[in-house]
Chain A
């Protein structure tokens, strides 16, 4: 089974702190994603990466940055945490979407990190 591991289940940080959320996948997936999930707003894409050192902004990148130095690891960085970044953060991974490679469009999620910024 695919395993996507997020380093922390719960984090409590203070306003202004720099926060690192780590994600590792063990299936050699090219694509990795960071989402945040908030009640009533659903899943919103922050950033995604389709290869090492490559990144693309999602729908809500402001206040966040990412790092992908190795294929299996995708880090989300909150440069200066604010209370409105309190949320559930979900990492996910997949192969590239290619219709000829059935099964490679599946998106697998980690267990999530519930971040509280005080």
Chain B
């Protein structure tokens, strides 16, 4: 099945650093969703975005819906050890959700 391009694939960062990741697509979406998944667990919804240009925050997380509706960005500020996990995006159009390839985040204390 189709997957969205997500980058970076993985990153090691120091505690306290800011993190950025993004998803790009050749398709236009109505909604962008960002999830975090811990090992052996289901994905947990972090942020939902509904219109082009929208910027939404959830605590230290900020995400943006790209102007072209074909991309989205997630930023994590002042990372902490519990931010470790896999982050992935999803684009939604009607019943269909297309997921990103994931960004594995490792935080060094």
Cross-chain contact B45 with A106 (CB below 8 angstroms): yes
The residue on B at minimum CB distance from A56 is: B95
Q: On chain A, which size bracket covers the interface?
A: 20 to 34
Q: On chain B, which size bracket covers the interface?
A: 20 to 34
Cross-chain contact B48 with A42 (CB below 8 angstroms): no
Given A42-B101, A44-B1, A97-B30, A106 contacting B42 (CB threshold 8 A): no
Q: How far is the CB of B93 from chain A (nearest CB, A)?
A: 7
Cross-chain contact B99 with A42 (CB below 8 angstroms): yes
The residue on A at minimum CB distance from B43 is: A109
Q: Which residues of B contact A42 (CB under 8 A)?
A: 1, 3, 88, 99-102
- A111 and B40 CA atoms in complex are apart in Å by 8
Q: Which of A43, A106, A109, A112 is within 8 Å of B40, CB to CB?
A: A112
Cross-chain contact B93 with A112 (CB below 8 angstroms): no
